[in-house]
Chain A
Amino acid sequence: MAEPGPRPLRVRVRSIHSGLAGELSDDRRLRIHSVFPHAVNLEGADGLLTVASCDVPNAPRTMILDRQDLDGCGIRAGEAATLEGRRIALGQLSLRIDGAQAWTPALPPTPPARDPRPAIAAALCAHGRRGGALPARGAVRPGSALSARDADPADGAFRPGSAPPTRDADPAGDAVRPGSALPKGGADPADDPDRSDSARLANSAHLANSARPPGGALSDAVSEAVRARLGDVIRAASGGSGSGVRAAIVRLCGLGPGLTPSGDDALVGALVTAAWLRGRCGMLTDAAATVDFAGLTTAVSATALAAAQKGAGPEPLHALLKAAASDDHRRIDPAVAALAAIGHTSGTDLAVGVLAALTLHFRERQASSTRDRRGNR
């Protein structure tokens, strides 16, 4: 007789995407696609679904567990998981779906009355992370909001960054006190052979989040390409070229670093915003619907893109759109901060996509108001 295995650890599903909850009524086998400390992707006939720990925000096709991490739960990529009786057996975990709070991604009912782009761009200056769609260099003076034009990636003038810019080395590296000797210090503590490896690596991580190009010339090139191609998407839509939008989306998809490449994140931000704003932005949705993302990017990203076309993104993205729709733009800063906390640059890239779609929307509004003025003469 076989030894009985360890008793499964029962875990409550705290919340679940309402669209996903309805799918999980039939028993079936799932395959563990990929495993991370705070999230596990499962592959089924309907595509990927994500099981995440409680510090991860709600997102499309995602269930959030009443548990802080998924490490040490015997979950291994490639192995099977089973859905049976509204429970998922996953490694040593038994996840109870019933009782979970349903989360429905909602879009604001009306477009923004005021242009929220300067507030979003200013918040990105403070909270955005570089290395993805944000350039590795360049910053804005804090306290002065970016103009709407500056927030326009299509104009090539999008320059938010962490502010104020801190350059070249960790300012924490050397003591500076009046009346005492200013200690000598190399410009970059990473160059100091006396520093421990961990300090050096921690420092390089600091640099990645400040001003240095995080991955050298190649990463710079990718980051630049993401911005340029996002600009292409918006330009093509402004020009009313559906085929141009589609071609630009194809060239943006799968581009950039990260498990969800930066180009995809920006595209998700733009598509969810487009679902809200419609009008000329509808061209993005229409064009994306004709693209087969599966061959262009990772399965995780393709799943996110499919949801974005239906107007669904991670919860902090919806919170930002809600803040952008309100008259109180003070709500935008904390919303961007929360969004930017997603992934490495994913949240920042999502916000960049939001700005891009808003740009398209406000261009259209401006054009129509110009026509109105002429018509009145």
Chain B
Amino acid sequence: MTTTAVIKKNTYIDSVSLMSVSARAQAIPGVTQAFAAMGTPMNKEVLAGQGLLSEELTAAGPGDLVLIVVTETDEDAEPAMAALEELLVRKPAAGRSDEVAYRTIASAAEGRPDANLAIVSVNGAYAAREARAALNAGLNVLLFSDNVPLEDEIELKRAAHDAGLLMMGPDCGTAILNGVSLGFANRVRRGRIGIVGASGTGSQELSVRIHDFTGGVSQLIGTGGRDLSEVVGGIMMLDGIDALEADPGTEVVVVVSKPPAPSVAARVLDRLRASSKPVVVCFLGAGENTIAAGAARGIQVHTRTKPAALAAVVAAGADARTLDLHELNWPLIEEVRARLRPEQRFIRGLFAGGTLCDEAMFLALEKYPNVYSNIATNPELRISGRDRSREHTFLDLGEDEFTNGRPHPMIDPSARTERLLQEAADPEVGVIAMDFVLGYGANADPVGTMLPAVAEARARAAADGRHLEILGYVLGTDEDPQGLASQVAKLGDAGITWASSSTNTGLLAREFVWKGEQ
């Protein structure tokens, strides 16, 4: 590495230029770091902290402009600095500003004729109008907003379908298009498996498991959670499947959703049966009828994410025998069972990801009758987020009742912190399961921010003479900004049991509190 510095005495360049130059300079061949700033004492202190403060730079004053480039080689240094200085004097080409703020989608579409996708995230009351404007301008749409009226969703999706455009959402939180991550998304390997998902964290989980099983994702298209309802009819899911079918980079088509309305399931399964590519279907918690509908078409309907991801990578050519399938650790399960008292019979799930909550809940339901949740479809098992937990309870803390007026739990742990302490005080609770979602847009240190509360919860149980098992799942990859390994290490350091997948979270939780046939 070579560091080159230039001081320009009493040189004033406006902030817009100065800061965009720092960004642009990263693109200069051979440059690993570049910095253009005023030579104030504090900026010099930061440079010193980075080991970049030379004697020459020490002499720079607050009115002097300091230019620094760090290059890989000596040879790169001089041309890189010359290029940086050139950037400083270059003005934007006529008619093209580096930064343009457009007031309307229509004007943005006109000003950026090469743009082909709009992200809409305004208040739900206005979102349909903006999405319509984007479609009218010929743009594909990712509609992040929720609370969009159902009739608007149907109209938008029909209009997009007729125009040959994607209408992802409303309430579409994630997508990966041509390697570009939108919304909450994990950094996964690019590959040949395309996903169409009607559930945000379900899609994230699939993409992450595929990555873990050495596969890669070609596209991840979101549809919004209501797409497979009877009234919407799976318009976007079917268009998404068509897009993946036509995508030469996609060799395997995966769909993931909660169980669709029966008529829509039939339509989606019919479309998949006609696909020229291998297909994998994951309808979480699907009942016998849906599974039978798939079987009738020669399609296996997976009800868990991990087997679905495995099927996808195998269809893409992976050899399952060479993969780490993360089997359950039965000795550990036995050890935990032995530590729990007889009355510690219940699971409490506190989830940031809705689909992760769903999957754990469905797995518990396979084994226990009374599993309550704020997202249960069965009204008899549905409880409000304000209610005290009952028996096995799984809460999706990303639901509106928890997020109203506060950030989503993927960002702010406070709602979960409060609930964790509450659950820990219940002497009938044996295990508390939690997810920690990594990726773009998520909390910078999701595990770390929960650790003080976990320690407190444990201490309260211990004061009562109880062991409290805490089970944690980190949804993420080794390439995510937060780093999977360091987050998992924090779980380990804090004595939290690590589940390696959403599926394993549900399986481990239900096994920990199993007391044998009663």
Contacts and interface: CB of A to CB of B under 8 A. Distances in A.
B36 interface: yes
B407 A295 contact: no
B497 interface: no
A178 B242 contact: yes
B243 A182 contact: yes
B247 interface: yes
A289 interface: no
Given A214-B22, A217-B33, A259-B13, A171 B180 contact: yes
Given A164-B119, A178-B242, A254 B178 contact: no
Contacts of B35: 215-216, 218-219, 257
B129 to A, nearest CB: 16
B49 A221 contact: yes
A115 B220 CA distance: 40
Interface residues of A, number: 96
B441 A164 contact: yes
Given A184-B249, A221-B49, A253-B42, A143 B24 contact: no
Nearest to B146: A143
B112 interface: yes
B43 A204 contact: no
B43 to A, nearest CB: 6
A165 B441 contact: yes
Contact of A205 (B23, B36, B247): B23
Contacts of A139: 440-441
B165 A164 contact: no
A298 B12 contact: yes
A166 interface: yes
Contacts of B219: 176, 182
Interface string A157-177: 101000111111111111111
Contact of B182 (A77, A166, A251, A263): A166
B149 to A, nearest CB: 15
Contacts of A185: 178-180
Interface in A128-143: 131-132, 137-143
Given A169-B179, A344-B16, A215 B62 contact: no
Given A36-B14, A141-B441, A257-B18, A214 B410 contact: no
Contacts of A297: 38, 40, 62
B158 to A, nearest CB: 13
B178 A173 contact: yes
B145 A341 contact: no
B43 A261 contact: yes
B296 to A, nearest CB: 27
A307 B64 CA distance: 23
Given A182-B246, A255-B42, A257-B36, A171 B119 contact: yes
Contacts of B243: 176-180, 182
Interface residues of B, number: 96
Contacts of B119: 164, 166, 171
B266 interface: no
B93 A198 contact: yes
B46 A255 contact: yes
A183 interface: yes
B306 interface: no
Nearest to B239: A178
Contacts of B68: 218
Contacts of B121: 142-143, 163-164
Given A144-B407, A221-B50, A171 B27 contact: no
A214 B98 contact: no
B405 A147 contact: yes
Interface in B230-260: 239-240, 242-244, 246-250
Interface in A241-271: 251-261, 263
A360 interface: no
Contacts of B101: 341
Contact of B246 (A167, A179, A186, A252): A179
A181 B124 contact: no
A328 B126 CA distance: 19
Contact of B40 (A33, A41, A205, A255): A255
Nearest to A121: B407
A285 to B, nearest CB: 21
A73 interface: no
Contacts of A296: 40-42, 62
A106 B196 CA distance: 54
Nearest to B412: A150
A259 B440 contact: no
Interface string A201-217: 11011011101101111
A261 B18 CA distance: 11
Contact of B42 (A166, A173, A252): A252
B411 A298 contact: no
Q: Is the interface of A mostly helix, strand, loop or mixed?
A: loop
Interface in B463-487: 481
Contacts of A217: 33, 50
Contacts of A200: 27
B148 to A, nearest CB: 11
A149 interface: yes
Nearest to B122: A142
B88 to A, nearest CB: 13
B37 A147 contact: no
A367 B240 CA distance: 54
A175 B43 CA distance: 42
B236 to A, nearest CB: 9
A193 B14 CA distance: 30
Nearest to B119: A164
Given A34-B12, A177-B164, A221 B46 contact: yes
B164 A169 contact: no
A208 B99 CA distance: 10
A254 B250 contact: no
B248 A184 contact: yes
A339 interface: no
Interface in A219-235: 219, 221-222, 225
Most buried by B among A139, A159, A202, A252: A202
A344 B27 contact: no
A115 to B, nearest CB: 11
Nearest to A265: B15
A204 B183 contact: no
Most buried by B among A33, A175, A256, A257: A257
A181 B40 contact: no
B178 A205 contact: no
A109 to B, nearest CB: 28
A161 B404 CA distance: 19
A160 to B, nearest CB: 10
B140 interface: yes
Contacts of A143: 121, 123-124, 144-147
B386 interface: no
Nearest to A342: B15
26 contacts: A142-B144, A144-B408, A159-B443, A159-B444, A165-B441, A172-B117, A174-B180, A176-B178, A176-B243, A177-B243, A178-B239, A178-B243, A182-B248, A188-B179, A205-B20, A214-B23, A215-B26, A217-B50, A221-B49, A225-B46, A253-B42, A259-B13, A259-B18, A260-B15, A343-B14, A344-B19
Report the 6 A-B pairs with minimum CB-CB distance, sorted nearest first.
A254-B40, A215-B22, A187-B179, A34-B12, A182-B247, A208-B23
Interface of A: 33-37, 39, 41, 77, 118, 131-132, 137-147, 149-150, 157, 159, 163-188, 190, 198, 200-202, 204-205, 207-209, 211-212, 214-219, 221-222, 225, 251-261, 263, 295-300, 341, 343-346
